[in-house]
Structure 1
Amino acid sequence: MNRIPILRLGKALLVTIQVDMHDELALALEQDLTQKIWATGARGVLIDISALEVVDSFIGRMLHAIASVSRVLDAETVVVGMRPAVAITLVELGLELPGIRTALDVERGMTLLSRRDEEAEGDVERR
């Protein structure tokens, strides 16, 4: 079974989904990502879906599950690269992505995550 690569970018992990997801691959990604967050202490997860032309309810549920597990491990999830057609499909299907922020590209997603770290550091300094 193929695996989806997970790259480390500073305090974040980058996941680029470039293949059609199926159950086994989605479960493997969730397990691999959970392990990588724990092992690296990553504070954020960027999931790049720019290569996906279609996002269905399965992908929506998978993104939600990954974001939920990441949040439990103190990592924020940002989905980047969503195509307009994908956004329209998600809305038409009534799929919400609670706990997931979105950005147009990896650079903007990293900016969102770095702001979170700056805010967290500010909270610690105020205490």
Structure 2
Amino acid sequence: MERIPILKIGDLLLVTIQLDMHDQLVMDLQKDITNMVRTTEAKGVILDISGLDMVDSFIGRMLGTIAAMTAVMDAHTFVVGMQPAVAITIVELGLPLGGVHTALNVEKAIERLRAWGKIEAESDDEAHEGD
């Protein structure tokens, strides 16, 4: 059975979608994300969709649904890495993405979560680890 991996990084869940998604995979992902938010008490979910060349109306609605569900569970959802064609499709279809925050990339999403106080800032020791 196909599954999209969800990585826990501190108070974040990182989901990198690198393949075209069918409806069942989207539904499974929604369930997996909400379960992980519950069990890990994550404060942020970052969905990297840079691997998606297209988004249909079902997938677009599900992004909004994931954001709404995680918001109820006290986590902010960001969609990052959106291809221009995907952004155009979402706007042309008039898909409501209420509750979905967007950022250009993972780093920008993390910066915004830190600025909002949702996740802790990296300490100087962690920032220079491995230098």
Is 1:33 the counterpart of 2:49? The answer is: no
Structure 1 residues 75-109: Cα deviation after superposition (integer angstroms, max 9, x where no partner)? 00000001111111111111121101100001001
Structure 1 residues 29-73: Cα deviation after superposition (integer angstroms, max 9, x where no partner)? 111111111111100000000010111111111101111110111
Partner of 2:54: 54
Partner of 2:127: none
Partner of 1:86: 86
Distance of 1:86 and 1:24 partners within structure 2: 20
Distance of 2:40 and 2:91 partners within structure 1: 34
TM-score (norm 2): 0.85
Identity of aligned residues (%): 56
RMSD: 1.4
Distance of 2:116 and 2:12 partners within structure 1: 11
Amino acid at match of 2:30: E
SS in structure 2 at match of 1:74: coil
Structure 1: state its 5+ residue gaps: 120-127
Distance of 2:12 and 2:107 partners within structure 1: 12
SS in structure 1 at match of 2:46: strand
Distance of 1:8 and 1:76 partners within structure 2: 14
Structure 2: state its 5+ residue gaps: 120-131
Is 1:102 the counterpart of 2:102? The answer is: yes
Contact 2:80 2:105 in 1 (8 A): yes
Instruction: Judging by fraction of residues, say which structure has more helix.
Output: 1
Amino acid at match of 1:31: K
**Offset of 1:118 from its aligned partner?**
5.6
Contact 2:14 2:45 in 1 (8 A): yes
**Offset of 1:14 from its aligned partner?**
0.4
**Offset of 1:26 from its aligned partner?**
1.2
Aligned residue pairs, count: 119
Distance of 1:7 and 1:53 partners within structure 2: 22
Amino acid at match of 1:3: R
